[in-house]
Amino acid sequence: MKARLPQGYGSGGAANIQQLAKQAQKLQAQMDAINAELEVKEYSATAGGDAVKAVVTGKMEIKSLEIKPEVVDPQDIEMLSDLITAAVNEALRAASDDKEDRMEEISNGINMPGLL
């Protein structure tokens, strides 16, 4: 007995695969361009009423850290450490969220493990 394919499944298979490959290449090029753009972008966040300001890049690297002198209390190093941690984490979160949003825009919300 011969197996039958459902209607529309016997023709154009190679052409569909080629078209899909072209779309994947285009998507990869768009993602590479966005990644390059985001790597040089800067994100900043503050903590403690602007007492500490952190600036990070899209590469998730700290570019600068500004600390106002009035928050430097030798008796309370723990508070200063907490402010620094909060500012850096918020700046990194902003960079990560921006990348995620941009990638979601070009992928139309489709989760593609290994690509995004």
Q: What is the structure's pLDDT at 58? A: 93
For the chain, domain boundaries: 14-107
Tokens representing 50?
A: 């602007």
pLDDT in tens, 14-43: 678 888 888 889 888 999 999 999 999 999
pLDDT in tens, 61-105: 999 999 999 999 999 999 999 999 999 999 999 999 999 999 888
Q: Which CATH class is domain 14-107?
A: alpha beta
pLDDT band at 1 (very low <50, low <70, confident <90, very high): low
CB 38 within 8 A of CB 58: yes
Q: What share of the chain is helix, strand, coil (3-state, %, to 5)?
A: 55, 15, 30
